[in-house]
A and B are shown apart, each in its own frame.
Chain A
Amino acid sequence: MIAVLGLVVGVVAGLLVRPEVPAVVEPYLPIAVVAALDAVFGGLRAMLDGIFDDKVFVVSFLSNVVVAALIVFLGDKLGVGAQLSTGVVVVLGIRIFSNAAAIRRHVFRA
C-alpha cells in the first residue's frame, strides 16, 4: 500500500514540479523508465508468486535502470543509438508482457 502511495506521489510530484531534465540525462530517461517498469512488473509477479524479496527488487530495479542507460549510452557512442534503444525497448516490452501474463493468471485465474 505504501509502495502504491509512493508511485502516486511520484507521478503527482513529477507533474507538479515539472523539473527541467538535464541535457545529459535526457536520452536515457525514457529507456530508464521502461526498464524500471519492467522491474516493477517483475516484482509484482514475484509478490504474487510469493517469492518477493525487497533486496532482490532493489538490486534488479537499479541494475535494470543502469544497464538500460548504459546500453543506450554505448549505442550513442557507437552510432547505433536509435536502433539499440529500439532493441532495448522491444526486449523490455516482451518481458513486461510475459510478466503481465503471469500476473493476469494470478489475479484473474485466466
Chain B
Amino acid sequence: MSGQEETPGNRLRKELPEELPATPAEETETTEATEESGAPAAEPGLTGRQRLVQGLWPPRVTRAQLIVAVLLFGLGFGLAVQVASNSDSDSALRGARQEDLVRILDELDDRTQRLEDEKQGLEKQRDELENSSDQAEEARKQTVEKERQLGILAGTVAAQGPGITMTIEDNKGTVEADMLLDAIQELRAAGAEAIQVNGVRVVAGTYLSDSGKSVSVDGNKITAPFRFKVIGNPQDLEPALNIPGGVVQTLEKEQATITVERSDKIVVDALRAAKRPDYARSSSQ
C-alpha cells in the first residue's frame, strides 16, 4: 500500500543484510509478517498509525512507491476483470472448471428430462380434456338434434316440408269425430310426420270427440271446414286418401266436399306445450 517513506532513498535496502530482529517492544504480540522478512523498523518511535499517515500524505515519488503502485495496478486490474467477467450472467460458466461443467450439464439434462416428462403428461391430459370436450360437444349436438326431431313428433316445435293440404267442407254437419279420426289414422299410416287440424296440432295423444255440431280435438272445438295440413311424402299421402273405400269416398258419401292439394312447402306451426308424464318414466335411466 505504501512505501517506506521514513527511509529516504534506498537507505533501508542497504540496511537489509544486517537482519535485525523486527520486534519492537510494544508489538511483540504480532506474529511475523508473512511475506516481509525481518527488516528493522527504521524509526521505532513511530506508531503504526503515524506510519500509515506518513505513507499516505504527503505523496512522495519513490522507487518503492512506484513498484508497489505497478503491482497494485495489476492487482486492481485483475480484480476488476475477474469481478466483471464473473458478474456477466452469460459468461458465468466461462470460469468454471471441467468437472463442474460436466456436473452442471448432467443436472441440466436431468432437469430437461423431468420437464420433458412433465410436458408429455400435461399434453396427454390436454388431449384427453380436448377429446372429452369434443365428445361432450358432439353429445350436445346430437341431443339438440334429437330434441328437434322429438319436438316435431311431440308437437313442441314447428315443422315444415312437403306434404298436402286436405280441406273437408261439411255443409250438412254430417262429419263426425270418428271420420276425422279415420282420416288422421289413414294419414299416419301413409307416413304423415306432422299434422295439424284447424290450428290444433295432432300428436300421439290427441283425442277427438263429438261436441254437439262441432268436433273437439284435445278439447279445442273446431268447426267445418276442417283444414288438415300434413307433412309427409305427397305421393304417398294423396293416394292413401283416395283409395277406393277410403277416407275421401267415405266422407263424400256423407255429402262432404273434400279437396286435396299437394304442396312443396307445408308449414305446421301449431304447437303443443310439452307435458311431463305423471306416471311413465324412462326406463333407460
Which residues of A pack against B, CB within 8 Å? Answer: 1-15, 18-19, 21, 23, 26-27, 29-30, 32-33, 36-40, 42-62, 64, 76, 79, 81-82, 95, 98-99, 102-103, 105-107, 109
Which residue of chain B lies nearest to A72 when distances are taken between CB atoms in the complex? Answer: B97
Beyond A1-B59, A57-B68, A107-B48, is A33–B33 a contact (Cβ under 8 Å)? no
User: Is B27 in contact with chain A by the CB < 8 A criterion?
Assistant: yes
Which residues does chain A contribute within 8 Å of B83, judged by CB atoms?
Answer: 14
Which residues of B pack against A, CB within 8 Å? Answer: 1-4, 6, 12-13, 16, 22, 24, 27, 29-31, 33-44, 46-49, 51-52, 55-61, 63-86, 94-95, 97, 99-100
- Cβ-defined contact, B100 with A14, below 8 A: no
Which of A11, A14, A38, A103 sits near B34, CB closer than 8 Å?
A38
Which residues does chain A contribute within 8 Å of B37, judged by CB atoms?
Answer: 53, 56
Which residues does chain A contribute within 8 Å of B58, judged by CB atoms?
Answer: 1
- Cβ-defined contact, B38 with A14, below 8 A: no
Which residues does chain B contribute within 8 Å of A7, judged by CB atoms?
Answer: 1, 69, 72-73, 75-76
Query: Can you give 17 contacting A-B residue pairs, CB < 8 Å?
Result: A1-B58, A7-B69, A10-B80, A13-B76, A18-B84, A21-B94, A26-B95, A46-B36, A47-B51, A52-B4, A57-B35, A57-B71, A58-B71, A62-B71, A64-B35, A102-B30, A105-B48
Give, as a whole number of angstroms, the nearest-CB distance from A64 to chain B.
7
- Cβ-defined contact, A55 with B72, below 8 A: no
Beyond A3-B69, A52-B39, is A44–B77 a contact (Cβ under 8 Å)? no
Give the residue among B43, B75, B83 with the most A Cβ atoms within 10 A: B75
Which residues does chain B contribute within 8 Å of A82, judged by CB atoms?
Answer: 97, 99-100
Which residues does chain A contribute within 8 Å of B42, judged by CB atoms?
Answer: 50
Give, as a whole number of angstroms, the nearest-CB distance from A6 to chain B.
3
Which residue of chain A lies nearest to B3 when distances are taken between CB atoms in the complex? Answer: A54
Q: How far is the CA of A60 from the CA of B3 in the complex (A)?
A: 15
Which residue of chain B lies nearest to A58 when distances are taken between CB atoms in the complex? Answer: B67
